[in-house]
Amino acid sequence: MRTIAGLGPEYVYVKTVVARAQSIEEDLRAVLAQYTGDETTVKLFQATKLTRFLKAGEEFTNPRQVERAAYRLFIEVLSSVSTSLSEKAMKLIKPYILIPVVRDIELIIRHAQREERPPSAEELLWPENKLVQDALRLVEEGVTDPLQLLRRVGLYTAYRIVSAARSAEALSVALDVELLKAFRDSFDAAGTELCREILGGRIDIYAARTMYSLIEMKPPRQVIDTYIDQLSSYRLSMREIKNAVESLDAEQAKRILSNSPYGGLSENLGLLEGFIAKVRKGLRPVAKKIFTWDTVMDEPIVGVSELLLLDAEDAIIISLLAYSRQPKQRVIDLVSLA
């Protein structure tokens, strides 16, 4: 058996198996089965595990409540499994921890840009997180420049990109690249192909989103070079992505996704959303499969993180599309549930 600093992989495995019980997959299937394509569907979340994240007497009436509750569950489980971990296990889970943090920091920066008061704890997903608290403190001290905020909370990849672009308009895509790099670092630390398959799927999602965003933005060449230096991919061809971005060729980007190794995409969706949906649908069974691996591996922590992230994303998709009166088939095409 491998020896690992900390309490060891057996400890990690037990914690992740317990955490997996917090998945709301069956709740989501029940809500989807009763989908009505209006606000009534949002109210169905009242019968799920997410209810405990509402204030006393409050009910689900809009997608924003579902989003926050779903991510609060995701954060609660990540917080519970990320204590007393080995260095390797922390590397594996880090990009998942960063997802709600990056969302909150972007919201804080957007408020600062508009000279609005900082978002309240109820508006944030993870107000207790140290990086989120640091960003709030900096804004309260008068630091409102996006570059300074990114640098001082340690989001250095996003900082370099926004600095090269000389515009905060690049903020969202820069933060996507920050997450892509975090998933690549985790990928490099993974010890099994199954774990790399999960992390690689997320890498390709962010790579595809960034490719489309850059082609739409049409930034100067020196800015494109800064992005390309940070990009990576898994199954998608990095050479083809680089060529599409350098030439700002939307048609080439479409060909990359429509002919990707992930297989055929839904005809009911746009190419990018169809590609992301295809990758996510493949991630759920792989995340479940990783729990069948030997208990001396750290990798199950990625499985439970991915499962709960898919749950959160699916809850948001169902509630948002119901609230906007979208047909059930579109929801089925988008969620990761088979």
What crossing angle do the helices spanning 9-20 and 63-81 adopt, rounded to 10°? 160
Dihedral (CA of 279, 284, 288, 289) sign: negative
For residues 288-311, b (16+ Cβ closer than 10 Å) or e, as one string?
bebbeeebebbbbbbbbbbbbbbb
Instruction: Classify residue 240: in a domain, yes or no.
Output: no
- Count of structural domains within the chain: 1
Instruction: Classify residue 1: in a domain, yes or no.
Output: yes
Instruction: Classify residue 163: in a domain, yes or no.
Output: no
33, with CB counted inside 10 A (0-12, 13-18, 19+), is exposed
CA neighbor of 125 nearest in space, from 109, 139, 105 = 105
Instruction: Classify residue 260: in a domain, yes or no.
Output: no
DSSP string, 47-76: GSGGGGGSPTT----SHHHHHHHHHHHHHH
Q: Show the CA angle centred on residue 212, arms to residues 271 and 264, nearest 5°.
A: 25
CA neighbor of 123 nearest in space, from 48, 72, 50 = 72
The residue range of the domain holding 27 is 1-85+299-338
Instruction: Classify residue 338: in a domain, yes or no.
Output: yes
Single-letter residue type at 315 = A
- What pTM was estimated for this model as a whole? 0.93
* pLDDT tens, residue order, the chain (338 aa): 233 444 455 556 666 766 777 899 999 999 999 999 999 999 999 999 999 999 899 999 999 999 999 999 999 999 988 877 788 889 999 999 999 999 999 999 999 999 999 999 999 999 999 999 999 999 999 999 999 999 999 999 999 999 988 877 889 999 999 999 999 999 999 988 999 999 999 999 999 999 999 999 998 888 888 888 889 999 999 999 999 999 999 999 999 999 999 998 999 999 999 999 999 999 999 998 886 665 546 788 899 999 999 999 999 999 999 999 999 999 999 999 97
Instruction: Classify residue 72: in a domain, yes or no.
Output: yes
CATH number of domain containing 307: 1.10.132.50
